[in-house]
Amino acid sequence: MEAQKEQRLTTVRTLLNYHKATLIQMVEQVRDQDVSNYPIVVLHNAPSFEVGILFANLTSGWEIRISTAEEFSARQLIANEKLNDFLALYRKRSERDLSVFVLTTEGGADFLFVPKGKG
C-alpha cells in the first residue's frame, strides 16, 4: 500500500512539474480577477470528478482542474469545522507553494503544498 502511495506521488510530482509555470499563472489569475484568494489545483484520475474548471485532460488518464477553497467548502470536500484551519494553513503556505488536491481511482485523496520553485 505504501509503495502505491509513493508511486502515485511520483506521478503527481512529474505532472505538476511539467505544468507548473502555467498552473502558477492560472492561480495568480484567479486571485488577480478576484475570483478567490484561495485557488486550488486539482489533479485526479477518478472518473466523473468535476470540480472547478478543466485545465488539461492528459493522455495519461489524469485531469488537471482549477478550483477554490470556497467550492471545496460548498461541496463539503473540506468539512465546515476544518475550513478555518485549512484557510490559515493556506495563507501561511500560499506565497511559496501551490495548494494541490490529489484524488485517485484507488480512493486516495490528499492535499499537498507543492513548492512553486524548481523541483
pLDDT one-digit tens code per residue, 66-114: 999 999 999 999 999 999 999 999 999 888 888 888 877 766 788 888 8
Q: Which three cell numbers stand for residue 33?
A: 480577477
**Closest residue by Cα to residue 102 from 17, 62, 54, 43:** 43
CB atoms closer than 10 angstroms to residue 92: 11
Q: How many Å apart are CA 70 and CA 74, to the nearest integer? A: 6
Strands 39-44 and 63-68: antiparallel
Whole-model pTM? 0.85
The tens digit of pLDDT for each residue in 35-74 reads 999 999 998 888 888 899 998 888 788 899 999 999 999 9
The band of 32, judged by pLDDT with boundaries at 50, 70 and 90, is very high
